[in-house]
Amino acid sequence: MRTFRSFRLAALLALSVMPFISNPVTAEEFPDRPVTLVIPYAVGGSTDIVARIIAQGMGETLGETVVSENRVGAGGQIGWNSVARAKPDGYTMLTTEMSFTIAPSLFSNLPFDAKTAFSQVGTAAFAPHVLVVNPDVPAKTVEEFVALVKANPGKFNYGSGGVGTNTHLGAELFKSLTGTDLMHIPYKGAGQVLQDLMAGQVHALITSLPTALPHIKSGRLRALMIASKNRVEALPDVPAAPEVGLPGMVMDFWVGLSVPAGTPDAVIKRLNHDMVSFVTSESGKQRLAAQGLQPVGNTPEEAEALIKSEMERWAEVIRNADIHAE
């Protein structure tokens, strides 16, 4: 009898705690250990620079370390897929940007559905893209550069961080709007392109402002155009795209955060709260501004709308330029 009563008591105790075990994690409980922010690109590129700023800042607001981890390869697919397959508990986040929205139209065999595999935490910051050339290129304006390329077919090229990246599609958009014929030289990352651009082996590059800004200020690159509606404070003498007759060339570099689909809403709200708290703080604004970035700090719903619109826009560019993954 004593054995039966002991078993019954143990069973009742187990049942009494089951609701607490099965309840989803709450914002108050999260996080209780370090969070990993996966960066799908190499160290030194725009995405890496911004992600590390956000990771450090969110670590301060979350009260736990946010570890930046570069998982590089296959045009971002290695990093994307690793997060898509991660446990949906908020402890693994993905750095999203323009290339993530390009992938569904570029790769027919993605190991996940980019439209359903992730939930959006929010968009952290943005900056415009900029058209830069090696200073030895004899063109000081967009108009002069377009005329130079048209007068010398097959002579001038542009570099990119790889097929389907923002640097690739941005240049293809520029070619379509200006009727120019620039040869594409793909690299395996933005850092390598920059080195060859400054060495004169590459003539032009369209990249995010954070990547190019220090080299523009040092005189190692010449900025011809800001791919934005308006000029930017960091480069007040460089005209915006509409000023040079290219309103369709407006394209922002943005960085957001995603988590695997199925992550509890309470956790997403907590991550969003701490991201927004950092990027809109004075410290966050200053750190982002030093890289030519402006804070966004929107809601998960607004970030989802941005992802959708960007996917639609770049799908059209890919179709028109007949771009295929290599």
Q: Per-residue pLDDT tens for 24-33?
A: 555 568 999 9
Q: For residue 280, is pLDDT > 50? A: yes
Q: For residue 3, is pLDDT > 70? A: no
Rounded CA-CA distance 278/82 in Å is: 26
Q: Per-residue pLDDT tens for 106-121?
A: 888 899 999 999 999 9
Domain ranges of the chain: 35-126+254-321, 128-249
- What's domain 128-249's superfamily in CATH? Periplasmic binding protein-like II (3.40.190.10)
The reply to whether domains 35-126+254-321 and 128-249 share a CATH topology is: yes
Q: For residue 20, is pLDDT > 60? A: no
Angle between the N-to-C axes of helices 166-178 and 98-106, in degrees from 0 to 180, rounded to the nearest 10 = 80
Alpha-carbon distance values, 326 to 75, 159, 176 (Å): 10, 16, 21
Rounded CA-CA distance 263/89 in Å is: 5
Q: For residue 8, is pLDDT > 50? A: no
Q: Per-residue pLDDT tens for 187-200?
A: 977 788 999 999 99
Q: Which fold has domain 35-126+254-321?
A: D-Maltodextrin-Binding Protein; domain 2 (3.40.190)
Q: Per-residue pLDDT tens for 107-166?
A: 888 999 999 999 999 999 998 999 999 999 999 999 999 999 999 998 999 999 888 888
Rounded CA-CA distance 17/46 in Å is: 48
- Helix, strand and coil in the chain, % to nearest 5: 45, 20, 35
Rounded CA-CA distance 271/294 in Å is: 19
Per-residue pLDDT at 28: 65
The torsion angle over the Cα atoms of residues 168, 73, 289 and 36, rounded to 10 degrees, is 150
Sign of the four-CA dihedral 109, 101, 192, 199? positive
Q: For residue 6, is pLDDT > 50? A: no
